[in-house]
Amino acid sequence: MGRQPCCDKVGLKKGPWTSEEDKKLINFILTNGQCCWRAVPKLAGLLRCGKSCRLRWTNYLRPDLKRGLLSEYEEKMVIDLHAQLGNRWSKIASHLPGRTDNEIKNHWNTHIKKKLKKMGIDPVTHKPLPNATEQTQTQPEQQQQQQLVHQPLLEQHQQQSFPVDLDSKLEPEYDHNKEQEKPETSFESSTITEAKEGDQIMTPLLDSMELMNVFSTDEVPIIEPDEIPVPCVPSISSTSTSSSSSSSSNSSNFLEDLLLPDFEWSHNYNNNTIDNNKDNNNTNMALWDDDFIRSWDLLVNDDNDGDRKQVFDAALYQYPRMIMDSESWDYGLF
DNA sequence: AAAAAAGACAACCGCCAATAT
DNA sequence: AATATTGGCGGTTGTCTTTTT
């Protein structure tokens, strides 16, 4: 017996989301929280299927999402995690606060894959490509990069012997042969601890980054149990970001459209981080604090549409509670 | 300047596992 | 226990933008 479709698809809209639809969905979620997705479109007045709404929310509208290109650090982390987890994008994403599996998957397919190939690394196995030697010999710069990006991560995995707790639930059933040759960095040498229930994320990468003096542990987006991760903010400053957003004339620009040109999200948040990531423009994790609330208020007050303002006002003060109540909220911290 | 090709990313599809009935 | 429902995941496709010819 085949599975029934998640919804009656007749008359449902498909394709890119319009800003109107985004507004409706945001208003609904902010007001009511994440409930049964199947019911969302009907209640929110959307001609979309629930699945589509969930996807739109989790991938693009959630306020805690970072936008913009992955930083070099994030990219390294993705490579590192991919070497250990394979194409389990959601697992990888769980180690990168503010990033979605879809985003990481896309970035992998469009950027990292090519980069690794250029560097003479097989993006599937994370081993040197057969002709890598020749390549790297003729491309010393790339070789240098390869050493910088990959070697430290992989070798440290092998050298260090931390307790293995990577995905222990999933690991036994995970068939590496199914998708790829078992990577050099096997689970046996893995050091990543699954980030769940507020556990601290421990990755070899973080250690290596420390060693490399690139990031201090203070700057690493480790979420402590007593920290509230923050609904973060779309990166406005990142014009680069919008490599993506610019491409979509309507929907993806919605949040940016909402933002005033000189509007700054949560001024207090981790200024150090900002300073240290000027080039990347995408470290936007912020604390859900008064400033953030005020920012929303500011945003809302600037809107001429009175009705919408009301909706947002209501939603604004409910949202933190909604997050606290929502068991499904990412990172499982609440 | 226009057309074609390539690149980038948002969104969809189908499957699966967990949960509810 | 069996079946239905829902949410989540990964692969793939479609569409828009940018670059090249």
Residue-level pLDDT at A254 = 41
d(CA A295, CA A288): 11
| pLDDT (average), residues A235-257 | 37
Instruction: Tell me the per-residue pLDDT of A177-212, one tens digit each, with 9 for 90 and over.
Output: 333 333 333 333 333 443 333 333 344 444 444 333
Average pLDDT, chain A: 56
Taking the CA of residue A2 and the C1' sugar atom of nucleotide C1, their distance in angstroms comes to 20
The whole-number pLDDT of residue A281 equals: 36
pLDDT at residue number A146: 52
Pairwise CA distance, residues A297 & A316, whole Å: 8
Q: Are A56 and A47 in contact (CB under 8 A)?
A: no
A332 in contact with nucleic chain B (CB within 7 A): no
> pTM here?
0.59
| Total Cβ atoms within 10 A of residue A202 | 18
Residue nearest to nucleotide B11 (CA to C1'): A15
Q: A70-83: per-residue pLDDT in tens?
A: 888 888 889 989 98
Q: Which residue has the higher pLDDT, A13 or A1?
A: A13
State the pLDDT at residue A168: 42
What would the DSSP string read from start to end of A156-192? Answer: HHHH--PPPBSSTTTGGG--HHHHSPPPSS-GGG--P
More confident residue, A158 or A268: A158
Nucleotides of B under 7 A from a protein CB: 7-17
Do the beta carbons of residue A47 and residue A13 sit within 8 Å? Answer: yes
Banded model confidence at residue A216, pLDDT cuts 50, 70, 90: very low
Amino acid at A228: I
- Closest residue by Cα to residue A222 from A235, A238, A211, A206: A206
* Count of all residues that appear for chain A in the document: 334
Q: What distance in Å separates the CA atoms of residue A254 and residue A21, rounded to the nearest whole number?
A: 10
Determine the protein residue whose CA lies at the shortest distance from the C1' of B10.
A16
Whole-angstrom distance, CA of residue A52 vs CA of residue A171: 30
Given this model, what pLDDT does residue A11 score?
74
Tell me how far CA of residue A44 lies from CA of A39, A56, A83, A326, in angstroms.
Answer: 8, 14, 41, 19
Return d(Cα A121, Cα A136) in angstroms, integer: 10
pLDDT over 80 (residue A45) = yes
Q: Max CA-CA distance within chain A?
A: 65
Q: Residues A101-135: pLDDT tens digits? A: 899 998 998 889 888 888 888 888 888 876 655 44
A273-325 pLDDT, tens digit each: 333 333 333 333 333 333 333 333 333 333 333 333 333 333 333 443 333 33
**Separation in Å: C7 C1' and A174 CA:** 21
Tens of pLDDT, residue by residue over A312-323, are 333 333 443 333
